A and B are shown apart, each in its own frame.
Chain A
Amino acid sequence: MFDIFFVQQLVNGLSIGLIYALVAIGFTLIFGVLNVVNFAHGEIYMIGSFAGLMAITTFAPPLFVVILIALAAGALAGFGLERLAFRPFRRFRDEASLKSKAIREATLLSSLAVSIIVREIAEKIFGSNMQSIPQDYLLLKPIQIGSLSFADGQFLIFGLSIVMLGGLQWLLKRTRIGLSIRAVANNPMGAAYVGINTERTIIATFVIGSTLGAIAGLIVGLYQGAIFPAMGFVPGVKAFVAMVMGGLSSIGGAVVCALILGMAEAITTSFFAQGWGDLVAYLFLVITLIFFPTGLFGGGRERV
């Protein structure tokens, strides 16, 4: 059972799962603060990898600089997204309308519309095919440890996601902006009463979540060698599934579920054809919603 091939698949699944986790954190942060679903998160992921790719093709900087550029692009995209698709619908500031069904569905649809527009514009500019990536930047150099073989991209994914997850914990628990994010997530009205600038906090949340997504997009693009305008849809949906499985506003839960999802997919593709791997995530989603409607790690929400 535990032959080399199986362990290899588990390691591959773990690295994919970490990527899903990075994307899922962005979703979860935004859901926690605004109580709305951001359907354009997959497009932020795409923007991150395209920004990195453009930097690579124009002036070929070292990888560290490429990551910084993707980070900046993600922050900018997150800011723009919030202004465009979410801000116009926060007309009323009382708690009932901040958490109302109408505003939730309006922002869900508006972020969906923005994501369609962004993706289609990217397709108009770059074409819908996969972009060619310079060989030097592909993160596919094989590294042999014992009888297992890894790609150097996997180490980068491991290292970077652990750094970013740790950084996020530090940011949320130890800094002032993290404190205000947690306060707004808990109770927007109360946070406003004690003098927290909720608008700025919401923007900060979008910027933080989007940078994580953009960096995930860049690394996956370079690791899998596939950068194309529609690349954000599948990881976006999977990260969304991880968020729902983890209980919507639990960051730790989303990370754990993203790892489970990534490994389950890798195991499935080692037994069945590649195409069926996608089914796993959706089956997990439906099964979780049926048996654990509040998610595996969800707190006591009143109703789902």
Chain B
Amino acid sequence: MRRIISVSLLLAAVLIVVPGILTLVGGGYWFRVMTTIGVFSILTMSANLITGTTGLMSLGHAGFYGIGAYATALLSTKFGWPFYLTLPVSGAITAAFGILLALPTMRLIGIYFAVATLGLGEIIHVTLLNWVDFTRGPMGISAIPGVTLPGVFTASDTTHYYAVAITALIAAFVLGRLTHSYYGNALRAVREDDQCAASMGLNVVGLKIQSFAFACFFAGVAGGLWAHTTGYISPGDFRFSESILILAMMVVGGLGSLPGAVLGAVILLGLPEFLRPIGDYRMIVVGAVMFFSILFLPRGLLGETPVLTVVRRQFGLAWDAKSNLGWRQ
């Protein structure tokens, strides 16, 4: 029952309250800010599956985001595909690229994996920048159609907000089910000690590749949404600094926590908007927030609940006089 209430509160907040407030404060610009926050929430939640849950630090997530954005942009400008086809297809394309590029790096752990993903992200960026025949290079791709369904709704800031919000909710649901399950526990076991997990009979490489594929799928969908909602993409949107931004969001929100990922995106993209009157200090704020949160909140704002707490809560019920569980009854 509590679950139903909290889910419906969340749905009401995202789908009714936030757009209502945005309309009251003037719409337009603030809808676009919220759309960006939504796209980055999806990205951060997906990166969280690799970095937070499976424990592989990825420094190349922006590259996969870029693959998704270019797939969507090319599919919709060259073939005129509508958004409900481009988004899943570009997600699938990105997941395929992710598996292909990640297969050789899966044997690496720790800092070596981080460096290899940094290299992969930069390879993708350089390719997008220099393969002029296919990606139009530094000029980027413009005039990408927005999220529109003829006869039902047309592309506008509000439509884009709803498209991003609903996708983010779906992503949160899927990733939440994925991590709060035996499957998620297996991923956490890989994070804590991969040799130990392998000796317990888990297919460590398989799990790593699967989590990478899931994360890349959602990164691709986020890229597709970015392409549709902004209408113009260029390789400059998918650089190393975007990967760092995603990492900073995860660190601030708390590694391994889905609400933390969303909170990190809201803080790191929302704070600079409120600081705009005193100048454009966006990246300084990002750096400072990241530095101080590592220093003072090493677990992040909403760090993943430690397993021990969950165990205590579940088993503690047996000693709780009010509950009808256990041998007290």
Contacts and interface: CB of A to CB of B under 8 A. Distances in A.
Interface in B78-118: 104-105, 107-112, 114-116, 118
B122 A104 contact: no
Contacts of A199: none
B247 A109 contact: yes
Contacts of A240: 115
Interface stretch (B168-176, B179-187, B283-291): B283-291
Interface residues of B, number: 37
A150 B41 CA distance: 52
B140 interface: no
A87 to B, nearest CB: 11
Contacts of B283: 116, 119-120
A283 B126 CA distance: 11
Contact of B119 (A101, A112, A114, A241): A241
Given A113-B291, A116-B244, A282-B126, A106 B107 contact: no
Contacts of B126: 275-276, 278-279, 282
A196 interface: no
A244 interface: yes
Contacts of A282: 119-120, 122-123, 126
A62 interface: no
A115 B287 CA distance: 8
A110 B295 contact: yes
B277 to A, nearest CB: 16
Contact of A275 (B107, B129, B286, B288): B129
B119 A121 contact: no
A268 to B, nearest CB: 12
Given A121-B284, A285-B116, A105 B127 contact: no
B237 to A, nearest CB: 16
Nearest to A290: B104
B108 A304 contact: yes
A121 B57 CA distance: 27
A241 B288 CA distance: 27
Contacts of A285: 115-116, 119
B269 to A, nearest CB: 15
Contacts of A273: 130
B240 interface: yes
Interface residues of A, number: 40
A113 B119 contact: no
A56 interface: no
A7 interface: no
Interface in A81-124: 85, 88, 101-102, 104-106, 108-110, 112-117, 119-121, 124
B105 A117 contact: no
Nearest to B240: A233
B108 A289 contact: yes
Given A121-B284, A286-B120, A293-B112, A110 B104 contact: no
Given A106-B298, A110-B294, A110-B295, A117 B108 contact: no
A295 to B, nearest CB: 10
B319 interface: no
B287 A117 contact: yes
Interface string B269-298: 000000000000101101110110011001
A260 B107 CA distance: 25
B47 interface: no
A108 B281 CA distance: 23
Nearest to A243: B115
A293 B111 CA distance: 12
B248 interface: yes
Contacts of A303: 109
A42 B118 CA distance: 15
A237 interface: yes
B42 interface: no
B103 to A, nearest CB: 10
Nearest to A35: B111
Interface of A: 37, 85, 88, 101-102, 104-106, 108-110, 112-117, 119-121, 124, 233, 237, 240-241, 244, 273, 275-276, 278-279, 282-283, 285-286, 289-290, 293, 303-304
22 contacts: A37-B111, A102-B298, A105-B57, A117-B287, A120-B281, A120-B283, A120-B287, A124-B281, A237-B118, A237-B122, A241-B115, A244-B115, A278-B122, A278-B126, A285-B115, A285-B116, A285-B119, A286-B116, A289-B119, A293-B107, A303-B109, A304-B110
The 5 closest A-B pairs by CB, nearest first: A116-B287, A113-B291, A117-B287, A275-B130, A113-B290
Given A85-B291, A109-B251, 19 more contacts: A88-B295, A106-B298, A108-B57, A112-B290, A116-B284, A116-B287, A117-B284, A117-B287, A120-B283, A124-B281, A244-B115, A275-B130, A278-B122, A285-B115, A286-B104, A286-B120, A289-B105, A290-B105, A304-B112
